[in-house]
Structure 1
């Protein structure tokens, strides 16, 4: 199973406060453990929402909403993509994580859909397209 593990934003992360050298080292050691265990597939920090935008959809209309966004507790400051045997396994890894923020913080774990989750709606042709696109993305990254 694959999971997106999201570090929720705080007032500090939204203000652009960067981690200290010690905090980088501590998180680096955790990331190294994830990689050595074959869990981590990707992971990145995100700039504050003041440097981002949202696009709202209403039928054929598109509206752009520029950041910053007011609800800090709903924002994501960073993420990982992990491969774990279960949600409980992902939870256990998160419990080993150093606090990603200097204040109280929260990490959300969500399972990523796999092709099997879509049943008959994902036809063989659509599955083939999905696999082709995945391989193309991987070849560009490598």
Structure 2
């Protein structure tokens, strides 16, 4: 199963405070463990929401809203995409993670939808389209 692992933002991360050399070293070692274990598919840190935007949808209208956004604890400061055998395995890996922030912090784990989760709504044609898109993405990521 794939899971998205979100590092929740804090007041520090939202001010743009950069991690220390020690934390970067610890996270680098942790990420290497994830890669060696065959779990990590992707992962990145994110700039503060002050550098981002949101696009609000209302019918046919689209409105761009400039950051920053609040409250900080509802935002994402970074993420990993993992392939694990179970949610329990993901939890065990998160418990091994260095604290990603100088103070208290939170990491959220959410399963990624699999094709089977959509049932009959995912017709053979839609499944074929999905497979084609995934193959194209995979090809581009190898270039």
Partners of 1:126 and 1:17 in 2: how far apart? 44
Displacement, 1:59? Answer: 1.0
Deviations 1:11-58 (A, max 9, x none): 111111111111111001100000000110000000000000001111
Q: Which runs of 4+ in 1 moved over 4 A?
A: none
In structure 1, the residue matched to 2:132 is 132
1:1-142 paired onto structure 2 within 5 Å: 1-142=1-142
TM-score if structure 1 supplies the norm length?
0.98
Cα separation, 1, equivalents of 2:129 and 2:16: 39
Q: 1: distance between equivalents of 2:78 and 2:70?
A: 17
Structure 1: gaps of 5 or more residues: none
Give the TM-score normalised by the residue count of structure 2: 0.98
Q: 3-state SS of the aligned residue for 1:101?
A: coil
Shift of 1:62: 0.9
